[in-house]
Chains A and B, each alone.
Chain A
Amino acid sequence: MSETYAVDIEDVSKSFGALKALNGVTLRVRRGEIYGLLGPNGAGKTTLIRLVCGLLEAHAGTVTVLGQRMPNVPVLRHIGYMTQQAALYPALSVEENVEFFAAINGADAGVKAALELVQLYDRRGSVVATLSGGMRQRCSLACALVHRPELLLLDEPTVGIDPQLRVQFWDSFRRMAAEGTTIIVSSHVMDEADRCQRLGLIQYGKLLAEGTPADIRTQGGSQNLEEAFLALAGRKES
């Protein structure tokens, strides 16, 4: 495919009743890029991710993913989606969960590699209900990437994960990006933001600022990314 953008969001608005969750957002993510969606709780990050994987339909504007206008079912084969809560079947083992998501995506061969990537291969027989929160999160990630998607959507993937594992997660994200996978990560942890190639700051359903972490520091006038973000957020509000 020749198009440069894996995700092309054009002037998208989405409301739930009276609440404007997204208001005229335009945002483009290049192929093989790690793009961070930053913003406080309720800013519209999850809504944006759901629009990208076709769970929601925009009221205005267009969402194009891998060259197809969303919602579009065949494109979903190339998307991996890790939800905010570790959405797994608690009565199944780690391996059975991953096998299930592999099967519905038509990628039965990838189970072992996915389990090794999240370092759960030795625990593959454990029933999910008995796992710690961090292990569930890893299992959930394995389910999202078992079919080697071209686009990986991660909604706050490192919540509840210890720092050591977080480093390992990011190592794998970078490796996958190097192999051509596009990754969109939502987070409100600034330390993670620094690991992204580009960032988009969202607040009250609007894109406040966009750019590399260095750009954001310059725009916000602070070497500390968190302060820069707060400065940008405060400026737009007043």
Chain B
Amino acid sequence: MSGHRVRAITRRLLQGFRRDRRTLALLFVAPIVILGLLGYLMRGSTSSPAVGIANEDSGPLGAVVADALRHSSHLKTSEIAASDGDAKLKNGSLVAYIVLPADFSQRAQSGAVAPEVHLEGSQPGEDSPVIQALQQAMISLASQVSGRSVNFQPQLTYLYGGPSYDTLDYFGAAFVGLVVFFLVFVITIVSFLNERSQGTLERLMASPLRRGEIVLGYMLGFTVIAFVQAAEVLIFSLAVLKIHNEGNVLLIFGVEALMAIAAVNLGIFLSMFARSEFQAVQFIPLVVVPQVLLSGIIFPVSTEPGPLQFLSDVLPLTYAVNGMRDIMVKGADLTWSSLQLDIAVVAGFCVLLIAAGTATLRRRLG
């Protein structure tokens, strides 16, 4: 063991970093950006779920419970008519609505209540604050019904998913697309970079090939691989993991394929801004991680702080994730306008990237 030789290696390493400003910036800027974003997302979020209350009670006790719910700090409540509830769940303006039936007071006096809780159900974890707040409200009810314990048995119904619907079902739908997007992006950016570093791109440029032909050829090649991968991921998710799926499998595959095409072109485009494979890999924390945080995969876009919602709205991955969930969780088909929008945005993004990739692939090197 020679300290001198060890020092030589250490010094060589640090000298290299001194010249690679970009790597240095990444090492010290990226953690702050990512942690800052995460902190802002989790602390700054306005996460009280929007809950509708339909008080149909003919007696006085329904109003007591409704009032207690209104004052709950964990919910954002509004008065609704029970008949409007399902429509409001569907359009996303409510996460849940609670119906206090006409015989609510009567049944409370006899010691057992069964308020209806209708949940949207596509996001696991959003139902528990609703049920907890309702339980709290029931305590104030008990004080009104002197001396008697009231048995509380909420009737839960789910618009989407269901009682067996779990976290994997929610995340799975998004991850099926994300896994393909991410891996295809990485292999494209690295192999396009190889083309530069091994000198073959220079050869291609000195041949009659057009830039568009190179980009299109690459796109088709990687799309073949991406399609096989997308099919494999989908079959594994549905057959082995048994991820909840309401939608058409071909439609899911279609959105996956579109995401793969976007990833290929993003890889080609970004490879223009990297000089080495090392720098290419650096795009992962800069390009992929913020997209994952902001696309609604983990934190629903609707609970993000306002400025971040704006950012989420311009990221194509947000639309892709939303589309995948709409299909798999809600059984959306092509007649849904929200799915049409999602697919149009992702497809538009593909076209934009193909153009950008072609434009940045310069024939002349200097």
User: A and B from one assembly?
Assistant: yes
Contacting residue for B206 out of A57, A79, A106, CB 8 A? A79
Residues of B within 8 A of A76 (CB): 206-208
Q: Which of A54-99 contact B (CB under 8 A)?
A: 54-57, 71, 73-74, 76-77, 79, 81, 83, 85-90
Please, how many angstroms separate the alpha-carbon atoms of A89 and B203 in the complex?
A: 11
Please, how many angstroms separate the alpha-carbon atoms of A163 and B167 in the complex?
A: 69
Q: Which of B205, B207, B363 gathers most chain A CB within 10 Å?
A: B207
Q: Which of A4-55 contact B (CB under 8 A)?
A: 16, 50, 53-55
Asked if A143 is at the interface of the complex by the 8 Å CB criterion, the answer is: yes
A87-B198 contact given A79-B206, A81-B206, CB 8 Å threshold:
yes
Whether B203 and A87, one on each chain, are in contact in the complex, defined by CB atoms closer than 8 angstroms, is yes
Asked if B7 is at the interface of the complex by the 8 Å CB criterion, the answer is: no
Contacting residue for B365 out of A55, A73, A143, CB 8 A? A55
Whether A71 and B203, one on each chain, are in contact in the complex, defined by CB atoms closer than 8 angstroms, is no
B208 CB to closest chain A CB, in angstroms?
5
Contacting residue for B366 out of A56, A73, A87, CB 8 A? A56
A144 CB to closest chain B CB, in angstroms?
8
Residues of B within 8 A of A57 (CB): 364
Whether B207 and A55, one on each chain, are in contact in the complex, defined by CB atoms closer than 8 angstroms, is no
Whether B207 and A105, one on each chain, are in contact in the complex, defined by CB atoms closer than 8 angstroms, is yes
A55-B209 contact given A88-B200, A89-B200, CB 8 Å threshold:
no
Report the interface size for chain A: residues with CB under 8 A from the other chain.
26
Asked if A101 is at the interface of the complex by the 8 Å CB criterion, the answer is: yes
A83 CB to closest chain B CB, in angstroms?
5
Residues of A within 8 A of B366 (CB): 16, 56
Residue of B nearest to A15 (CB): B366
Residues of A within 8 A of B208 (CB): 73-74, 76-77, 104-106
Whether B203 and A81, one on each chain, are in contact in the complex, defined by CB atoms closer than 8 angstroms, is yes
Residue of B nearest to A85 (CB): B199
Asked if B42 is at the interface of the complex by the 8 Å CB criterion, the answer is: no
Q: Which of A185-218 contact B (CB under 8 A)?
A: none
A153 CB to closest chain B CB, in angstroms?
8
Chain B 173-217 near chain A by CB (<8 Å), digits 1 or 0: 000000000000000000000000011101111111110000000
Q: Which of B335-365 contact A (CB under 8 A)?
A: 363-365
Please, how many angstroms separate the alpha-carbon atoms of A143 and B202 in the complex?
A: 13
Please, how many angstroms separate the alpha-carbon atoms of A105 and B213 in the complex?
A: 13
Please, how many angstroms separate the alpha-carbon atoms of A106 and B208 in the complex?
A: 9
Residues of A within 8 A of B200 (CB): 87-89
Residue of B nearest to A78 (CB): B208
Interface size class of B (residues with CB under 8 A): 10 to 19
Whether B198 and A55, one on each chain, are in contact in the complex, defined by CB atoms closer than 8 angstroms, is no
Whether B207 and A83, one on each chain, are in contact in the complex, defined by CB atoms closer than 8 angstroms, is no
Whether A87 and B207, one on each chain, are in contact in the complex, defined by CB atoms closer than 8 angstroms, is no
Residues of A within 8 A of B203 (CB): 81, 83, 87, 101, 143
Chain B 201-238 near chain A by CB (<8 Å), digits 1 or 0: 01111111110000000000000000000000000000
A83-B199 contact given A54-B206, A76-B208, A104-B207, CB 8 Å threshold:
yes
Please, how many angstroms separate the alpha-carbon atoms of A50 and B200 in the complex?
A: 14
B13 CB to closest chain A CB, in angstroms?
26
Please, how many angstroms separate the alpha-carbon atoms of A118 and B204 in the complex?
A: 21
A54-B199 contact given A73-B210, A101-B207, A104-B209, CB 8 Å threshold:
no
Contacting residue for B364 out of A71, A90, A105, CB 8 A? A71
Whether A87 and B365, one on each chain, are in contact in the complex, defined by CB atoms closer than 8 angstroms, is no
Please, how many angstroms separate the alpha-carbon atoms of A54 and B204 in the complex?
A: 12
Residue of A nearest to B200 (CB): A87
B289 CB to closest chain A CB, in angstroms?
30
Residues of B within 8 A of A105 (CB): 207-208
Contacting residue for B205 out of A55, A77, A89, A90, CB 8 A? A55
Please, how many angstroms separate the alpha-carbon atoms of A181 and B206 in the complex?
A: 18
Please, how many angstroms separate the alpha-carbon atoms of A40 and B228 in the complex?
A: 51
Whether A55 and B210, one on each chain, are in contact in the complex, defined by CB atoms closer than 8 angstroms, is no
Please, how many angstroms separate the alpha-carbon atoms of A50 and B366 in the complex?
A: 10
Whether B364 and A56, one on each chain, are in contact in the complex, defined by CB atoms closer than 8 angstroms, is yes
Please, how many angstroms separate the alpha-carbon atoms of A86 and B202 in the complex?
A: 11
B198 CB to closest chain A CB, in angstroms?
6
Residues of A within 8 A of B199 (CB): 83, 85-87
Please, how many angstroms separate the alpha-carbon atoms of A180 and B202 in the complex?
A: 26
Please, how many angstroms separate the alpha-carbon atoms of A50 and B207 in the complex?
A: 12
Please, how many angstroms separate the alpha-carbon atoms of A86 and B199 in the complex?
A: 8
Contacting residue for B363 out of A55, A81, A88, A90, CB 8 A? A55
B247 CB to closest chain A CB, in angstroms?
38
Please, how many angstroms separate the alpha-carbon atoms of A60 and B122 in the complex?
A: 65
Residues of B within 8 A of A83 (CB): 199, 202-203
Residues of A within 8 A of B202 (CB): 55, 83, 87
Residues of B within 8 A of A90 (CB): 198
4 A-B pairs closest in CB distance: A87-B199, A53-B206, A81-B206, A77-B208
Interface residues of A (CB under 8 A from B): 16, 50, 53-57, 71, 73-74, 76-77, 79, 81, 83, 85-90, 101, 104-106, 143
Interface residues of B (CB under 8 A from A): 198-200, 202-210, 363-366
| 27 contacting pairs across A/B (C-beta < 8 A) | A50-B365, A53-B206, A54-B206, A54-B364, A55-B202, A55-B205, A55-B365, A57-B364, A71-B363, A71-B364, A73-B208, A73-B210, A73-B363, A76-B206, A76-B208, A77-B208, A81-B203, A83-B199, A83-B202, A85-B199, A86-B199, A87-B199, A87-B203, A90-B198, A101-B207, A105-B207, A143-B203
Q: Given A73-B210, A106-B208, 8 other A-B contacts at CB below 8 A?
A: A16-B366, A55-B202, A56-B364, A73-B363, A83-B202, A88-B198, A104-B207, A105-B207
